[in-house]
Amino acid sequence: MQRPHHHTFESTRSSVAAYVGGFDGTGTTALKGAHIGVLRQLFMGPETDPKIRQALEHALADMTRQSAEVVDDISIPEIDQIPLGKLFCNRFKYDIDAYLAQRQQEPPVKDLDAILASQKFRPSIEIRMRDAKAQPPPQKSPACKEAAENARRWACCG
Chunk the chain into consecutive blocks of 10 residues (it has 158) and report each block's average pLDDT, rounded to whole numbers: 39 52 58 87 79 89 90 83 77 93 91 95 89 92 86 66
pLDDT number for residue 3: 34
In a domain, 123, yes or no: no
Q: Quick check: 69 and 36 in contact, CB under 8 A?
A: yes
pLDDT number for residue 156: 57
In a domain, 69, yes or no: yes
Q: Quick check: 45 and 81 in contact, CB under 8 A?
A: no
In a domain, 66, yes or no: yes
pLDDT number for residue 96: 94
The answer for 32, left when phi > 0, alpha when psi is -120 to 50, beta otherwise, is: beta
In a domain, 65, yes or no: yes
Total domains in the chain come to: 1
Q: Quick check: 12 and 5 in contact, CB under 8 A?
A: no
In a domain, 34, yes or no: yes
Which range marks the domain in which residue 33 is found? 27-75
H or E stretch covering 37? strand 35-37
In a domain, 17, yes or no: no
Cα 16 from Cα 95, distance rounded (Å): 12
pTM: 0.52
Cα 148 from Cα 9, distance rounded (Å): 11
pLDDT number for residue 152: 79
pLDDT number for residue 7: 40
pLDDT number for residue 14: 54
In a domain, 70, yes or no: yes
In a domain, 141, yes or no: no
